[in-house]
Structure 1
Amino acid sequence: MPDLGLTDREVTLLTRYLLLKAKDGIASLPDWRPEREDSPDPTRLETGRALWDQFNCKQCHSLGDEIVKPTWDENGNPHLMSVIFAPALDKTWTRTRLEWLAEGIQHPAKRIPWSGMLQVNMTQEQARELAWYIANAVPSPKRTVAASEVVDVMRRRCNGCHYGPDPKASFNTNPEGGAGWLATWGAKPRKLDLMSIEGIMRGAVDDFGNPRPSVVPYAENSPLLMHIKGLKHPHMPFGMNPLPAEEIKLIEDWIASGAPTPKETSGIKVNPPIEMGD
């Protein structure tokens, strides 16, 4: 999704509008959701795979090692338009509410009419098994980076601005917090402290004082990553050279593996991944 340069007010208004539009649809959802499991049942995976093949989901959707790419005729027209718009389902469990899956699969014309997804003759049981399969077919990325390694990078690279209040601060720091914490350059206080795992996972606040995550587990477009990669303004570190490629890669790998952290740090529960909106 492109960065549209929306203000905090525009983001808030758009979010409220979407919530109002979705209210009735969410209320009508059945009280059921597939659970993502650490060790999914192989037999159940086989059943789900059979349904995946039976309903030809693989014609449009990529999943795991099976990549679907659009093909074109001599005039530059796609052979199958739906392939262009069908999302890859590898990370469905990280970016959608799983309780929506079965309903969207069984009733696409009603639940996701904008998608162009075909309506097929499918029972509720089949839709739920297929939803479970999509949620469990692709294993979680291996965790190769510890949170402590990320904190070490943040403390070395971001300590000029992104620290919170400390009455015992050293002589060369502000006891009220750094520029990334205070109201700076006409902006309201962002309160972004990157000197601890609590601060990294807590994130910043917007112009309305609403919390905004800096790290979203598994999300390639986590705000922290977008800023340090120069894909979102302001580029960070502000007014300085970018982080070395190997340090950006380390942070990227940590987020891609779910941003694993200690189960509890100073009373803040940060694992399992924070549910956006809680």
Structure 2
Amino acid sequence: MDLRSLPLSYLAGVAILVATAGGGFVLVRDADVLALRLPTKVLAPTKRAPETPREAVEHFQCNRCHVVPGIEPASAPLSENCVTCHQAITAGRLDPWYQEAEVQRWKEHLTHLMRTPDLRSLGQRVKRSWLIAWLQAPHMVRPLYGATMPRMKIGPKDAERIADFLAVTEEESEEPPRGDAAAGRALYEKNACASCHYLGDAPLAALRYGAPEFRAPSARRRAPDLRYVRSRMSLAQLRRWLRAPHSILPDTEMPTFPFTPREVEDLAAFLREPAAEVAAGPGPPYKPRLLEREVRYPEVARKLTRHLCYHCHSDSRRAGDQGPGNTGGFGYDGVSLDLATRAGILRGIKRDGRFRGLPDRMEDGTPRLVASLVARHAELDGHAHPSVTGMPLGFPPLPDEDIDLIFTWIEQGAPE
């Protein structure tokens, strides 16, 4: 059977018969896995301006990570969907179709983007003003989730269109909390809420790509930092959530506590105290240092390009759509950046019709690639660099020692 002759929509939803070495046939229910080997088109438009809520959701490719009811496809194919592909790998669905060593290597790296929040009840969980602002400057809401919303090239109008599509309309009323914040704090401690939640005390400096904290139990990984409650949820939303979280988000791992109406008010008063969401401004940006040894490309590839960057920046490892950092996506035009090979890194990004090469320095002399790795650190708290998009996009920042490695390699002339 020539899989290339079948449309992806057919392969993704239909079991097929495949000949075996013994001459018989087996029923294959992993047709979407087999489709990973086929050419695909660019997932969504990236150059025309959206005019409707649905066009905004498609343009910014929300279905690369989320299931988005109401658009087609609701979830992108495995070759384009970060989360469902990771889930297929961990579930063993790729085991029969790829070399054992390769699949095992993938499983060892898979810490981030293992699931994404359900968008169907988002309008019951966040305020409209918060969502519109957050889409434009996303920060780490769930410190141990291992990923954040990617920083898209999006303005307020398109953010409003996405909020419209997701039916996020609620805003804050003028009603003040009626409870006792001190009693709410006591309830917070009594019910061991801190066993899952942070309250402004997340160790952001330790949460680097691949950190062991990201292998915490599922409930702790999914729990949001409650310092954002006041800006993120209306008082009415918070009350409803504390009373019956499963009625709003059926798969939540938040227990349903038998709080009395008075206790709900006390907890709401405590969680909405302004001090609970105060975030310190970003410190000075990290200054990468030159290592006192030679760095060659194989070490750089092992640390960075071969298992991380190529998902979004690759010419040679993927058919069809080669990632939003290459062919475009998330609102960005394609820049033909290939970080899967040394030759691609040396070629650099395509800007104003020509490739810029390496190192493509910023005004202060910092290589642009290094500047993007440093910028990601500040984005954890929503402090975006005005002219540099932090990398890796939507992932925790790289450890300082890995940035030093890349910086040293570039300054040494990018040896093979």
User: TM-score, structure 2 length as denominator?
Assistant: 0.28
Between structure 1 and structure 2, the one with the greater Rg is: 2
User: TM-score, structure 1 length as denominator?
Assistant: 0.38
User: Higher relative contact order at CA 8 Å, sep ≥6: structure 1 or structure 2?
Assistant: 2
